[in-house]
Structure 1
Amino acid sequence: MAFVLAGSLRVHVQRLPATAGPTSDTGSDASDRPVVVFLHGLVVDNLSSFYCPLAVPAARAGHEVVLYDLRGHGRTERPAAGYDSRTAVRDLFALLDALDLGRRPVHLVGNSYGGTLALHAALARPDLVSGLTLLEPPLGGAWVENMVDTLSAAALSLEDSPVPAELLTLRLRKAAHLTAIADDLLNRTTLIDDIAGSRTFTPADYGRLHCPVLLVCGEHSELVPGARELARHAAQGSLRILPGLGHDVLKESSGALRDAVLAHLDATAARPRVGALVP
């Protein structure tokens, strides 16, 4: 476990070194490959959701890995404000600078809302983001409305709730901790208002993406139409549909997901790095 000051934010971060060299014939080592950075979802999620399904396998496949808790989540500092996508992208690149990785290309792997943040980051810094893997990314305006309604209802249910204390009484410490974090985020920060103000993406945004993009969605996910649109407009976009699954492909399909993600990471790492692109 490590904490890094990224700008003014104290961030909980974990780094996994590449534990195997790449199998290509290029003679390159892990330091020549993009750093794989994982971005998790909202409220009850944190870096641990990636650890076994994807992060450790990626490190074993020869990729240097960075996992971190987003602002206010997990063990990262929880300020009252700054939960908009613009600030989240600044947090990400400030963290990379603090880790002395600010000049290395990065491949961003984002789950759910983390996929949205990864896409914002790629549009903001095409010179640094060399690849994207987006798992169930919420992209359309309807998702924003539905998420705000869901978070607002959850905030009301948690306000002055005895649930965290009851969970502690039952010795369910992890559940109590996650519930307390959710209560703090929803009732004592600007997170809901910041999500409500989220900018939706357009086909023109997708057309500005010059890096390879893999989207992965469950067959029954309501987010498939948005993913199809992104894949259609991005120059190097591809969509993988996992049969029989809904939104949470990260938990429900570790084997098929792992294989798809590792193949994309390897293919992206083998590409020659291009110069800075103009957004």
Structure 2
Amino acid sequence: MAVVSANSLEFHVQRLPATAGAARPDRPVVVFLHGLVVDNLSSFYCPLAVPVARSGHEAVLYDLRGHGRTERPASGYDSRTAVRDLFALLGALDLGHRPVHLVGNSYGGTLAVHAALARPDLVAGLTLLEPPLGGAWVENMVDTLSAAALSLEDSPVPAELLTLRLRKAAHLTAIADDLLNRTTLIDDIAAGRTFTPADYARLRCSVLVVCGEHSELVPGARELVRHAPDGALRILPDLGHDVLKESSGALREAVLAHLDATAATAAAAAVAAGPRAGALVP
């Protein structure tokens, strides 16, 4: 575990070097972006991050602002600030000389698209797992988060969980209460803009979207793939919004194949461009 200062915040970071013998310094660094509220970097660790490191990519996982063990300020939960957090963190990790491939789960996928649009020179590829992309999702999520905030306000549940020695559940519940009732997270999500076909058309990197067959997010994924210059959609059968937890084998194969393809493209582009200097702080 490491604590890294970036964008005036302390971030909890896990950094997995590429496995010895498989390391390829020309491959993009793979950065994982998790979902909202009760999610954190640990959801990626065994299903994807370790296999990615074993395949020769360096992997970076971190708890988003306010989540997990990262510092929890009262504000700054909008997508623009999240993108600044991401690239400031990579700069603090001295990764400014390497392209990155972003793997985002759920809301982390939305942030990954924002990052690729903001810094197309730095994002070499996107892998989006069940990304919420449409405007209807924002309305539904705000309603869900608002209801959860009301249920957690002054709730005895965290104390009761501790009494039952369910420390992990108590900790996650306390984090959710803090995020929903004592930060601007819900308001920031509500104020966020949704993507347009023109946004997707501006994506310069390769994009793989993975959704469960029964997920309500499939239409939004099809819209992205329809307009992105280099987009592909993989549908995993018999699943909903749970591909990261319930389909590790098929998901791992799809992600590793996409990473290999992205790495080859990035290497060819680097040779064509020649030596160049760059910084990761917008």
Short-chain TM bin: over 0.9
Deviations 1:27-48 (A, max 9, x none): xxxxx11000000000000000
Deviations 1:145-197 (A, max 9, x none): 00000000000000000000000000000000000000000000000000000
Q: Is the alpha carbon distance of 1:274 and 1:8 closer, same or farther for their aligned partners in structure 2, counting shifts above 3 Å? A: closer
RMSD between aligned residues = 2.3
- TM-score scaled by length of structure 1: 0.93
Kept in 2, the 8 Å contact 1:126–1:209? The answer is: yes
Residue 20 (structure 1) shift: 4.7
Question: Is 1:278 the counterpart of 2:255 in the alignment?
Answer: no
Residue 102 (structure 1) shift: 2.0
Residue 274 (structure 1) shift: 13
Aligned 1:1-279 pairs, distance under 5 A = 1-21=1-21, 32-270=26-264
Identity %: 90
Residue 7 (structure 1) shift: 1.9
- For residues 276 and 217 of structure 2, the distance between their equivalents in structure 1, rounded to whole angstroms, comes to 31
- For residues 174 and 256 of structure 1, the distance between their equivalents in structure 2, rounded to whole angstroms, comes to 29
Kept in 2, the 8 Å contact 1:17–1:59? The answer is: yes
Q: Is the alpha carbon distance of 1:169 and 1:141 closer, same or farther for their aligned partners in structure 2, counting shifts above 3 Å? A: same
Three-state SS of the structure 2 residue aligned to 1:3 is strand
Three-state SS of the structure 1 residue aligned to 2:66 is coil
Q: Is the alpha carbon distance of 1:146 and 1:116 closer, same or farther for their aligned partners in structure 2, counting shifts above 3 Å? A: same
Q: Is the alpha carbon distance of 1:196 and 1:88 closer, same or farther for their aligned partners in structure 2, counting shifts above 3 Å? A: same
Q: How many residues align?
A: 268
Residue 265 (structure 1) shift: 0.6
Three-state SS of the structure 1 residue aligned to 2:72 is coil
Q: Is the alpha carbon distance of 1:18 and 1:179 closer, same or farther for their aligned partners in structure 2, counting shifts above 3 Å? A: same
Q: Which runs of 5+ in 1 are unaligned?
A: 22-31
Q: Give structure 1 regions of 4+ aligned residues with deviation exceeding 4 angstroms.
A: 272-279
Residue 267 (structure 1) shift: 1.0
Kept in 1, the 8 Å contact 2:91–2:279? The answer is: no
Three-state SS of the structure 2 residue aligned to 1:155 is helix
Three-state SS of the structure 2 residue aligned to 1:15 is strand
Q: Is the alpha carbon distance of 1:278 and 1:230 closer, same or farther for their aligned partners in structure 2, counting shifts above 3 Å? A: farther
Residue 210 (structure 1) shift: 1.1
- TM-score scaled by length of structure 2: 0.92
Three-state SS of the structure 2 residue aligned to 1:199 is coil
